[in-house]
Structure 1
Amino acid sequence: MRRVSFLFCLVVLMYGCKDTTDDISDNNGNGAQDPPDGVQLIFPFEGSLCNEGLNITPTESTVNFEWEPNDNALSYKLSVKNLDTDIITEYFTEDFIMPITLQRSQAYRWVVEYDIQDETKTSATWNFYNAGPGEQTYAPFPAEVTSPSMAEAISATNAVNLQWSGSDVDNDIVDYDVYFGMENPPDIHTSDISTSQLTVSVSPGNIYYWYVVTHDSAGNSSDSGVYQFRVLD
């Protein structure tokens, strides 16, 4: 009976959410699912604008998170990150549908994990925007850094290729600014980049910091947060 009730709520919620995954270009494969032994996400959709929900108030709404159940999982950990505040909230459940009350007019990133035989299986990471009343344009999702990863130690002689992925529910990203250097926070290195990668000069034995600011055509922007990597001697 609980399953039927949850499914009914999910159908109601989905009617109020716009799936924009087909409209967002992502050359890095952002939102692709993990192999079958991982968790397969269902809802909220990757890169979607959710403009309705359950128990809606001017400031909050309840979103039903859903993923495919996995026979190997006894329980799941759902992590939801508010991309505007960088606050991550973790939820533990034995079910595969979980209602969570969220702030409206906020962007979120979510992922599901489970443990089996001392190994953690992780889903893809999806973004969505929980829309607020009266909004017409939306800031881009913060760029997702793909390489080098946070605190990675890499072998390089004199150059490293920085890579990231960007998405926006309005599909109107125009360019990126990259901040890079050995100071934290780093100064701007290159602005108005139309691609999602940049080759930078490095020297062995140093730690480097970098982040990406995404701009859209409406003048909105977001930043990825500072990442760091170390170049081995």
Structure 2
Amino acid sequence: MRKRIIILLTATCVFTGCSKKNDTKDIPDPVAAILTFPAQNSACTTGTVISSTQSTIVFTWNSASNADSYEIDIKNLLTGTISTQTITTNQYTATLLRDTPYSWYIVSKSSSSAVTAKSDVWKFYNAGVGTVSHPPFPADNLSPTFGQSVTGSTVNLTWTASDPDNDIAGYDVYFGTNSTPAISKSNITAQFVNGVTVTPGTTYYWKVITKDAAGNTSDSGTFQFSAK
């Protein structure tokens, strides 16, 4: 009888696995939010005016799947100052300087996952008093990337730029080995300069001044790369 009981127990272990049941479920990661307002490359005129220099703007985005909180990052494109806040709703009211360009993005987060998801980065211009023409947004470098080491004796400088009024007229490109580079090309309309000669073992600096039809300008800030 004892032998039969042992055999039955053994058989039960075979069919049930004789192991702790794994009830752990896969935890879904949050997905990137879809931005809605302020719109990409827009001039924002719908904020609430606080003073001649400040207004409030309500940022909105679509709720992201599997996210229970959001980090909003708002960058002043003139000063480089970044404001970061964490909220649990899909909107946020910020006090911003008027007559100033900004960029913003959302990071979706979940208390159940260490993974986060970043949205697209959008730019907008917070309109000022009686503004009828807006400066271009500062250009973003595409290549070389900041701090990149490049090989070869020449390099192609490429960038992207936009303007709330869609009236970009041209670019001045500054390039050199000094951290405040001298002008290299002026009034070009392409968003690239190809075949720029470089010397191995040298660090280079460059920037782009974007100009529009109304005479407004914006400075990209200085980018850096090295040749090896």
Q: TM-score range by the shorter chain?
A: 0.7 to 0.9
Paired residue type of 1:152: Q
Partner of residue 206 from structure 1, selected from 175, 193, 202: 202
Paired residue type of 1:114: S
Question: How far did 1:69 drift?
Answer: 1.9
> Which residues of structure 1 form unaligned runs of 5+?
1-35
Question: Against the structure 1 CA distance between its residues 102 and 39, is the aligned structure 2 distance closer, same or farther, given a 3 Å change threshold?
Answer: same
Paired residue type of 1:217: A
The answer for the alignment partner of 1:19 in structure 2 is none
Q: Percent identity?
A: 41
Equivalences for residues 73-152 of structure 1 within 5 A: 73-114=67-108, 118-152=114-148
**Are residue 51 (structure 1) and residue 45 (structure 2) matched?**
yes
Q: Considering only CA atoms, is the larger Rg found in Structure 1 or Structure 2?
A: 2
The answer (yes or no) to whether the contact 2:98–2:126 under 8 Å persists in 1 is: yes
Paired residue type of 1:75: S
C-alpha deviations, 1:161-194, integer Å up to 9, x for none? Answer: 1111111112111100111111101111111110
Paired residue type of 2:69: S
Task: Give me the CA root mean square deviation.
Answer: 1.9
Structure 1 range deviating more: 202-211 or 69-78:
69-78
C-alpha deviations, 1:16-41, integer Å up to 9, x for none? Answer: xxxxxxxxxxxxxxxxxxxx943321
Question: Against the structure 1 CA distance between its residues 102 and 37, is the aligned structure 2 distance closer, same or farther, given a 3 Å change threshold?
Answer: same
Question: Against the structure 1 CA distance between its residues 138 and 207, is the aligned structure 2 distance closer, same or farther, given a 3 Å change threshold?
Answer: same
**Are residue 176 (structure 1) and residue 171 (structure 2) matched?**
yes
Equivalences for residues 156-195 of structure 1 within 5 A: 156-195=151-190
Question: How far did 1:86 drift?
Answer: 2.0
C-alpha deviations, 1:65-101, integer Å up to 9, x for none? Answer: 1122222333222111112222111111122111111
**When the two structures are superposed, what TM-score results if normalisation uses the length of structure 2?**
0.79
Paired residue type of 2:119: S
Question: How far did 1:204 drift?
Answer: 2.3
Task: Work out the CA distance in 2 between the residues paired with 1:120 and 1:148.
Answer: 27
> Which residues of structure 2 form unaligned runs of 5+?
1-29
**Are residue 68 (structure 1) and residue 66 (structure 2) matched?**
no
Question: How far did 1:212 drift?
Answer: 0.4
The answer for the alignment partner of 1:29 in structure 2 is none
Question: How far did 1:48 drift?
Answer: 0.6
**When the two structures are superposed, what TM-score results if normalisation uses the length of structure 1?**
0.77
Question: Against the structure 1 CA distance between its residues 75 and 153, is the aligned structure 2 distance closer, same or farther, given a 3 Å change threshold?
Answer: farther
The answer for the alignment partner of 1:225 in structure 2 is 221
Question: How far did 1:56 drift?
Answer: 4.2
C-alpha deviations, 1:134-167, integer Å up to 9, x for none? Answer: 122111111111222211223x211111111111
Q: Number of residue pairs matched?
A: 196
The answer (yes or no) to whether the contact 2:31–2:67 under 8 Å persists in 1 is: no
Task: Work out the CA distance in 2 between the residues paired with 1:68 and 1:160.
Answer: 40
C-alpha deviations, 1:182-222, integer Å up to 9, x for none? Answer: 11011111111101111211122222111100011111111
Structure 1 range deviating more: 129-138 or 53-62:
53-62
Question: Against the structure 1 CA distance between its residues 37 and 198, is the aligned structure 2 distance closer, same or farther, given a 3 Å change threshold?
Answer: farther
Question: Against the structure 1 CA distance between its residues 118 and 158, is the aligned structure 2 distance closer, same or farther, given a 3 Å change threshold?
Answer: farther
Task: Work out the CA distance in 2 between the residues paired with 1:229 and 1:75.
Answer: 37
